[in-house]
Amino acid sequence: MPAEHPHEYADLRDASPATKVRLQLSGKEAWLLTRHEDVKQVLGDPAMSSDAKSPGYPLQFPVPEEVLQFIKFPSRRSTPPSTRCNGAW
């Protein structure tokens, strides 16, 4: 059974599926996507980056440059994950 999400998520999804939010720890702005199809599109877009060293990346707190090289973020999907475990894709 899927986890219940706060009703605010549904409200955001209906009113504005892509919403600018302010990150609590850093105060930086970031985009919140609320629709699965939008998330898949963004994650597959080569113009988008998950590189924390990229200018404008919304880190939650300052990270020294020498530490950033060791942080691994999920890479964009090149192929769909196995549907054996996750039929949602």
**pLDDT for 47-69, tens place per residue?**
877 777 777 777 777 778 788 77
- pLDDT for res 17: 85
Whole-angstrom Cα distance, residue 43 to residue 40?
5
Enumerate residues 6+ apart whose C-beta is below 8 A from 9. Answer: 34
Kindly tell me if the per-residue pLDDT of 80 is higher than 80: no
pTM comes to: 0.55
Pairing type for strands 18-22 and 29-33 reads antiparallel
